[in-house]
Homo-oligomer: A and B are copies of this chain.
Amino acid sequence: MTLKNGFEKRRERLYDWMAQEGIGMVMFEDAEGRRDPAVRWLSGQPMDGLLFLSVDRRSLLIPWDINLAKQQARVDAVIPYGEFERRPGTALRGAAEKMKIPPGSKIEIPSVTPYPAFLRYVGNMTDFDIICRDGGAAAAVEKQRALKDAEELVIFRKAAGITNGLIDLLEKNVRSGKIKTETDAALLIEAEARRRGCEGTGFETLAAGPDRSFGIHAFPAYTGAAFGGPGLSILDFGLKYQGYATDVTLTFVREPCAAQEKMLALTERAYDLALSLAKPGALARNIAAAVDALFARAKKIMPHGLGHGIGLEAHEAPVLRNREDNDWVLAPGMVFTLEPGLYDPVYGGCRLENDILLTEEGAEVLTGGRIIRL
């Protein structure tokens, strides 16, 4: 399957948006310290480059690695970044010239542009109207990316299938004692991810045995410590397949005490509640609020959000968090995690996380993350 037409189709929607907004040119930047998968999503270039779209419906990629661009990018034109001294400001001016953007046009730069850099762009481009805002092009792309298209769902189903095969293998190997340490678990995932055709893992695997599972995100991510012994062990991992990340968490349980049993039962109840509420039209923050309320009744606090969208990023829109300013409404085509968890400095932590595809019919659980009793 090629995404060649897919990229152009995605750009088409953005060109329409630009025309509506009266924007002459939009710039996307994927760079160290300011990653933006919009470049990959719109052009096929997996990383490191500037992408420019003009309102007259042309695309220009200025990649850091020209060889990679020749192999991967599907755009109208490519110019090596070296021709602009690898400076975004120089490239922006060059792109406006190459694309013949009329002086006075609105040019939108990334919303994450630091304030001092914004001042420099404006100073260097006084003949244009430089726009940097929330709710602009980046938000338009974020909204589009939150609704996965048919090509993306094919990839996700494949990614979920590989993830599920690996979950079964992990359970088997923890049960058999083949996995004894956090490192055993994490490296099995690294190896199997590649063997099964993935680009790699979606993020650094978090493997925390009973002594370290109290941390929401274990630090370091994994060590030589024992995994799967008495108490609660957490394994949070994802695979990256054709750019798309899955994200699941398994909790392994051995000889739990009453306090740990209570944490596990609450977490499972919270997960079931969240799943039952995940329907098209639901306000994401209401689902998160219902879970927080369930925990509160048991005098527990979940110290993180309920879930998040996944896609080319391990964390993307929509966000499922109990906060007033969270306006995300669930819609068919969204793929997101549900991941309630509880953490205790003495008893350790547990989390149950799966990837959900929302359809017209409701929530489809793509992955087989689970609490595994040893």
Contacts and interface: CB of A to CB of B under 8 A. Distances in A.
Contacts of A199: 220-221
Contacts of A64: 216
Contact of A32 (B215, B301, B315, B343): B315
Given A111-B115, A183-B195, 11 more contacts: A33-B112, A46-B219, A67-B343, A68-B215, A114-B115, A183-B191, A183-B194, A187-B191, A190-B190, A194-B222, A200-B204
A15 interface: no
Interface residues of A, number: 52
27 contacts: A33-B35, A33-B112, A46-B219, A47-B219, A64-B216, A65-B215, A65-B216, A67-B343, A67-B345, A68-B215, A68-B219, A112-B114, A114-B114, A115-B118, A115-B132, A116-B133, A116-B134, A183-B191, A186-B190, A187-B187, A187-B190, A194-B223, A194-B224, A199-B220, A200-B220, A200-B221, A200-B222
A32 B222 CA distance: 19
A238 B48 CA distance: 20
Contact of A65 (B35, B220, B224, B303): B303
A114 B116 contact: no
A82 interface: yes
A195 B224 contact: yes
A374 to B, nearest CB: 23
* Copies per complex of this chain: 2
A203 to B, nearest CB: 10
Contacts of A35: 33
A227 B114 CA distance: 41
B67 A214 contact: yes
A219 B114 CA distance: 28
Interface in A61-113: 64-68, 70, 72, 82, 85, 111-113
A217 B46 CA distance: 11
Interface string A181-223: 0010011001100110001100010000000001111011111
A79 B223 CA distance: 28
A4 interface: no
A48 B72 CA distance: 34
Nearest to A243: B220
A216 B200 CA distance: 18
Nearest to A314: B32
A343 B66 CA distance: 11
A224 to B, nearest CB: 5
A9 interface: no
A134 B119 CA distance: 11
B303 A82 contact: yes
Nearest to A198: B220
A157 interface: no
A262 to B, nearest CB: 19
